[in-house]
Chains A and B, each alone.
Chain A
Amino acid sequence: MIRYIIQRVLAALVTIWITTIAVTLLIHAVPGDPVRIMYAKFQSTPEQIEAVRIALGLDQPIYIQYGLYVSRLFQGDLGRSIVGDQPVLDILLTRFPPTLLLATTSLVIAVVIGLSLGFLAAYKRGTVIDVGAMVLAVLGVSIPHFWLGLLLLFFFALQLGWLPVAGSDLRSLILPALTLGLANAAVLARLTRSAMIDIFDQDFVRTARAKGLPKTMVLYRHALRAGLVPIVSMMGLQFAYMMGGAIVVENVFAWNGVGRLAIEAVFARDYPLIQGFILFFATVIVLVSLVIDLLYAVLDPRIRYS
C-alpha cells in the first residue's frame, strides 16, 4: 500500500514537472513576437517593449528562462499579469474559490441525481422507468451546456422569478450549479447503470441475497460499493475539469471563476496569466487524480494488497 502511494505521488510530481517545461515553452510557440502581441494595443516604444522582454526574461537562453521560472515558482511567484499588472498567483487565488464552490455543488448534484437515476435504471432494468431514465440521461449528455444554461435561466429566472440571472451570492450559485450538475449527472447515470447491471449479475450478489441478507444491505453494502470504482473515477475526472473552470457555464451566468479568467487572459494575450492558469489547472487535475488513485485503494482491496 505504501509503495502504491509513493508511486502515485511520484507520478504526480513528474507530471507537474513536465507541465512547468511545457509552460515555459508555451510563450515561444506563439507565432510572431509575443511581447509585441501582448503590448499591441498600448502606445509602447521599442525601448518599453525591450524592457518588458528583459523583465520577462525572454532575452535569456531558454534553459536560463526555465531555471528562472522554476526558481520563482518555489518562491510562490507566478509572475505579474500584463493586464492590470497584478501578481498572477493573487489573481488565481481570488478567482479559484468561486470555481471550487461551483464545482463542489455541481458534483453533489451530479452524484445525487446521477447515481440515483443510474441505480434505479439498473434496478428496474428493461422497464419503462429504465427507458425513461436513460432517455433523460441521453438528453442530458447531448444538450450543450450553453443551451441548458439558457433554458434554466429562462425558466427559473425569467418565468418563475425564483432565482437571480447572474451574481456572486449563494442564490446565484444555484442555476450554474444545476446546469453543470445535470449535465454531469447524465454521464454518471449512464455509467452507474451499466456498472450496476454488471454487479447485479455477479455471483456474490446472488450469494448475499441467498444468505438472506436484507435487500438494502445487499444493495448498498455489497453491490453499490463494488460498482463504485469506475464511477468514482468518472466523478474525479468531472470534478477536476470543473475545477479548471466550467468556461461556458461561468460565462453564461457571469460566475466569477477561473474558467472566465482563462478566457479573459487568452483574449488579452496575457501570457503570464495564461501560463499561471495552465500550471494551476494541471496541478489541480494531478492532485484530484492522485486522490482518486488513493480512493481506489480504499474501495478495491485488490489494489490495496497488490
Chain B
Amino acid sequence: MGRPPTFITTPILALTAGLVAGSSQAADLVWARYGDIDSLDPHRATSTLSMQVWDQIYETLLAFDGEGKPQPHIAKSWVVSDDGLDYTFELQEGVLCHDSTPFDANDVKFTVDRAFDESNPSLTKTSWGPISAVEVVDDLTVKFTFESKFGPFLPFLADSFSSMVCDSNDPETFGSSTGIGAGPFKLVEWVKGDTVSLAKNPDYTNYGRPFDNKGPVNVDGLIVKTVPEAQTRLAGLTTGEIHIAEPPFDDIPAIKESGELEIMVAENTGQNVFWEFAISRPPFDDIRARQAVAYATDPELAIDIIYGGLSQREWCPIARGVFGNDQEFCAQYGYPYDPEKAKALLAELGYSTDNPLETTMFVWTGGNRHKLAEIFQNQLSQVGIKVAIEIMDIGTMNARVKEQNETTDETPGTFDMMTWSWYDPDILYALWHSPGAYSGYNTPELDVMLEETRTTIDPEARLEKVQAVIKHLMENAVHVGLYTPGWEWVFAVRPEVSGLKIGAFLHPMFNDVTIKE
C-alpha cells in the first residue's frame, strides 16, 4: 500500500495544550485527608475524620486545653450539686448560631434530647453518661441531672462527640447536607466523598479554645478535600494545591531534609496501641503466655526503626495527655524487653524455639503497622513463639477480636495489636467492664473497680481509682501498652501557612492560621 492516510492525529495534545494551572484562592485553606466524613451529624458517626470537621462547625460547652484538661468555653461556669448528680452550666451571652439565631440553653437541651432519642439515639449515647433530665433554667442556664455520679462527664463536654447542634437545624437535611452550629466555620457544601467546603464565621468568638486568636478565623474558608492516595497528597502539597495533609510515611525523612514543607507531629493524641489477647482459651488463658509476648517484644526498637522518633514508648493502658496517665507509675507494672524472661515463662508452659507456641497476630492496615508487626514477629520467633500475621481494616479487626473471645472452638487463641483513642480513662470501662467491647477479660472485682472510676468525681480520689484499674490490667497482662501515637498524627504543612495547632486528642484547629500571599 502507498502513503499512509492523513488521519493520524494527536488529540491528547489538543486536550492538554494551553492549559495552565489557574491561580488558587489564597485565602482558602486546603486540607487534604485520606477519607471523607461519614456524616455532618455528631450523633451519626464516630470516625476521627468526622470529628475533626465537626470541631470546625460546632462548639462544645467546654474546651480542652493543650494538656487535654477541660476548660470553660461556651459554658463560662458550672456548679455541681453536693450529691454530684446535678450539673448547672451558665452559658456565654451573645453566642450566635450560623443562621444568626442565638445559641442558648434550648440548643443544649435540643442536642442532648436528640442524643437520647429512643427511636434513633446517638451512636455515642453511652458516653454522655446516665443523664436522666436536661432542664432549661433560663436562656443562659441549663441543668443536667444524673441517675448516678459520672466522673467522665466534664471531659466529655469538651470532646466533639458532645458537639452542640443548634435547634434551628432542618431535621430533613441535617447531617446529610446541612449542619448549623456555632463554630468558627459555617458549612457551605458537602460534596460526599470529595469535599467539605466551609466559610469563615464572622460572628465567632473564641472563649476557651487554647489559641491566641479570640475572634473569627483569619482565613476566608477551609476546604477539606478527600485525597486517598498519599503520593497524590504529597504532589498536591508540592504544587501548592494543598496546604496541609498527612504525608506518605516513607517520604517524611526526605521532606524534612528538603525543608520545603514543615512536618508537624501531634502531641496528646489520646491514642494507645497495645497488646490484647483472646483469654478465653489456650494459649492466652494462661497469664504466662501473655507475659511472654510482652517480655519478648521490644516496642522501643520497633517504633524507632519504623517511625524514627515520630512515636514513643507507652507504658500505660491509656495514652499520654489522658487523665491518669503516669509513665513512672505504669512502668512499675510494665514488661520491659527481656527475651530471657520470656523464654523462661514459655519453658514453664512447655514451649521452646524447637517446639514453639503457635498463634496468630491481628493487625490493622495502614500507618506502616504491618512493618511493625513483622519486627514483632521476628522478636517473638527468637523466644519460641511462632506468629502468623493477619492484616485487616480496623472495623473487621474489632469484630474478629470479639469473635475470638466468644468462640468456643478448639483453635489456638489469637492476640492483636489493638488501638484506641479516647479523651478519658473511661475507655477502660468501655473495654474491660463486663461484657466489654470485645467480650474479653473481665472479673467481678475489675467491674467494681471500673464502676468506681465512673462514680468518683473528686480528681484526686478518681486518680487513685483509675490507677488501681491500670495496675490490675497490667499485672494480669491483659492490656499491655506499646506505643503512642499510632495513626494519622503527622501533618505536612506548606511554608506559606502558619499558626496550625493540633489540639489535644488529635483535633487540628485553624483559629490561628494565616496564609501568606
Contact = CB atoms under 8 A, between A and B. Distances in A.
Interface in B14-71: 15-16, 19-22, 32, 35-36, 38-39, 44-46
Contacts of A123: 1, 4-5
A140 to B, nearest CB: 13
Given A37-B395, A85-B44, A269-B395, A43 B12 contact: no
Nearest to B365: A267
B411 interface: no
Interface string B218-251: 0000000111110110011011011000000000
Nearest to A44: B123
Contact of A166 (B8, B15, B126, B227): B227
A168 B195 contact: yes
B191 interface: yes
A64 interface: no
B394 interface: yes
Contacts of A37: 395-396, 399
A41 B395 contact: yes
B407 to A, nearest CB: 10
Contacts of A238: none
Contacts of A171: 19, 22
A254 B5 contact: no
B175 A260 contact: no
B229 A43 contact: no
In this complex, the member of A48, A83, A171 whose beta carbon has the largest number of chain B beta carbons within 10 angstroms is A83
A171 B191 CA distance: 18
A37 B22 CA distance: 45
Interface string B189-200: 001111100000
A266 to B, nearest CB: 9
A268 B395 contact: yes
Given A32-B403, A83-B45, A113-B12, A164 B395 contact: no
B125 A43 contact: yes
A157 B462 CA distance: 56
Contacts of B225: 166, 254
B442 interface: no
B5 A109 contact: no
A11 B476 CA distance: 63
B398 interface: yes
Interface in A117-143: 119-120, 123-124, 129
A252 interface: yes
Contact of A174 (B1, B15, B36): B15
B32 to A, nearest CB: 8
Contacts of A129: 4
A150 interface: yes
Range of interface residues on B (Cβ < 8 Å): 35 or more
A9 to B, nearest CB: 34
Contacts of B235: 153-154, 157-158, 165
A67 interface: no
B398 A40 contact: yes
Contacts of A157: 235, 239
Nearest to A219: B5
A8 B9 CA distance: 37
A162 B19 contact: yes
B238 A158 contact: yes
Range of interface residues on A (Cβ < 8 Å): 35 or more
A41 B398 contact: yes
A53 interface: no
B472 interface: no
A95 B192 CA distance: 8
A215 B2 contact: yes
A84 B45 contact: yes
Contacts of B46: 41-43
B53 to A, nearest CB: 13
Contacts of A168: 191, 194-195
Contact of B239 (A43, A158, A215): A158
A163 B11 CA distance: 17
A305 B147 CA distance: 81
Nearest to A266: B393
A112 B14 CA distance: 12
Contacts of A253: 232
A155 to B, nearest CB: 10
B434 interface: no
Contact of B241 (A41, A42, A166, A174): A166
In this complex, the member of B32, B228, B400 whose beta carbon has the largest number of chain A beta carbons within 10 angstroms is B228
Contacts of A215: 2, 5
B309 to A, nearest CB: 28
8 contacts: A43-B46, A43-B127, A43-B430, A85-B44, A85-B175, A166-B227, A256-B193, A268-B395
The 3 closest A-B pairs by CB, nearest first: A40-B398, A256-B194, A40-B399
Given A32-B399, A43-B123, A254-B232, 18 more contacts: A36-B402, A37-B399, A41-B395, A83-B39, A84-B175, A85-B39, A116-B9, A161-B21, A163-B16, A164-B21, A164-B239, A165-B235, A166-B232, A252-B232, A254-B228, A256-B191, A264-B36, A267-B393
Interface of A: 32, 36-38, 40-44, 48, 83-86, 91, 94-95, 109, 112-113, 116, 119-120, 123-124, 129, 150, 153-154, 156-158, 161-168, 171, 174, 178, 181, 200, 215-216, 219, 251-254, 256, 260-261, 263-264, 267-269
